[in-house]
Amino acid sequence: MWPATFRSSGMESPHLEINEYEKFVLRMNPPRVVIDNEASENATLVKVDCSNRHGILLEVIQILTDLDLIICKAYISSDCGWSMDVFHVTDLNGRKITDARTIDYIQQRVVNHQYPRTVGVQSAVEHTAIELTGADRPGLLSEIFALLSDLGCNVVAAELWTHNMRVASLIYVTDYVNLGPIQDPRRLAKIKESLCSVLKGDRDSKGARTDFVTGVTHTERRLHQMMFADRDYEIADDGKMHNSEQKITVENCNEKGYSVVNIECRDRPKLLFDTVCTLIDMEYVVFHATIDSVGQKAYQEYYIRHVDGCTLNSDAERCRVIQCLRAAIERRASEGLRLELCMGDRVGLLSDVTRIFREHGLSVKRADVNTRGDKAVDVFYVTDAAGNPADMKVIEAIKQEIGQTVLQVKGLARYPKVSHEAAARLRFSFGDLFGVPCQVLSNLGFIKSFT
């Protein structure tokens, strides 16, 4: 715990607090989880049947995505205090989930309401956790890592996202000497002041923020919250052309009292987590949803209301939801060339590597830094300083300097093309099933169809 002179970031826990009544309901009606490898030829079905509360959908999705499982389809139905959800999942190679330990982990976490605190989650007990938001610019990550190295900080993990010329990062550091968290108030004050100075630069009109985090946080959810609080979505309409493959609409279904959000965009891992996370953090409740992916396309349909029970009744509110969902989709999009670094860890390694990137004119658009034992296992997405694709001659020069075997260039995933007609045939919508409860339950997988 940091001294009283240093405050928490004010962040909400990624695990919403449960009141005593909800705890009682959970004890009386514990969640039921079924892992089914027989119902589908191509995927494992994870069926979750439980009492409903705000945020539980995101927590279940978080369990699955933190295990690097791909959710290729999902059917969500929750109303009148009960939730019935089905997720079609595979591993990263498109195979069913057969590992007994993984299956047991999913069941135990959901049934016992013990959401992940080791996978995808970092604790501030062993590290000093630092949050940064500000204006992005070429070479910024190099400046940050160089400064931390000069201040005697060893970076053990970090994640950085950039979007619409803004940057958000969570960095976990230890002291060079004792390899534990930094607790001296004067030293923390110097680190904070120095990082703020680097972040502000000479042209950040929107302002920069540096904070120390206490407790436990889910890194990816927190990054969404940080960029949302930084209002990165507002810059989306400054004349920049959006991805033509991305379509988001919000309409009201007055007959049933829902607002209907439809998303069509390029599919990628953790897309469902990103969109549901944004809706939850904007205080909307997802009552029903259908999620589908066909080739490289993802289709998501949500029936939502605000937590106060109201639908989205103004154009301004609908526009804001579209902007925020567009930002959530784009923040983690694989912009740039993927570089993977795996080598023996040492003090100052990240400072040296990112300096080499900067000296060769590369800009880091996204980064995921990890330490596993005595190895540094890092991923960087890079472009040139103008945001254009990196020159492969430059990449080869960097590999020569860092090491041919320790720095690998990885291509982006490719998906088979599927025609619009085929996609339409494969899609399913809850809008077609309202008032037909047996058909809904059959599609969810909780009852069998005999037709």
- Which of 172, 176, 151 has the alpha carbon at shortest distance from 160? 172
Least-confidence region, from 69-73, 145-149, 260-264, 443-447: 443-447
Which residue, among 12, 107, 121, 13, has the nearest Cα to 60 in the 3D structure?
A: 107
Q: What percent of the chain has pLDDT over 90?
A: 64
Say if residue 425's pLDDT is above 70. Answer: no
pLDDT digits (tens, 9 = 90+) for 111-148: 775 444 333 445 556 889 999 999 999 999 999 999 99
pLDDT at 110: 85
Dihedral angle, C-alpha 169, 170, 172, 175, nearest 10 °: 60
Range of weakest confidence among 145-159, 170-184, 412-426: 412-426
Instruction: With a cut of 60, say whether residue 183 has pLDDT above it.
Output: yes
315 CB neighbour count, 10 Å cutoff: 9
Q: Tell me what pLDDT residue 395 has.
A: 96
Q: Is the pLDDT of residue 189 over 80?
A: yes
pLDDT band at 181 (very low <50, low <70, confident <90, very high): very high
207 Rama class: left (phi>0) / alpha (psi -120 to 50) / beta? left
The gap from C-alpha 406 to its chain's centroid, in whole angstroms, comes to 27
Q: What is the mean pLDDT of residues 262-284?
A: 96
What CA–CA distance (Å, rounded) separates 314 from 320?
Answer: 10
Region for residue 358 given its phi and psi (left: phi exceeds 0; alpha: psi -120 to 50; beta: otherwise): alpha
Q: When comparing pLDDT for 241 and 362, which is higher?
A: 362
Q: Nearest-5° angle of CA 47, CA 51, CA 55?
A: 85
pLDDT in tens, 30-68: 788 999 999 999 999 999 998 777 788 999 999 999 999
Tens digit of each residue's pLDDT (9 = 90 or more) over 203-235: 665 678 999 987 777 899 999 999 999 999 996
How many Cβ atoms from other residues are within 10 Å of residue 421's Cβ? 8
Dist CA 102 CA 67 (whole Å)? 8
More confident residue, 82 or 172: 172
pLDDT at 81: 75
Does the structure show a pLDDT above 70 at 402? yes
Which pTM value belongs to this model?
0.83
- Would the pLDDT of 248 be above 50? yes
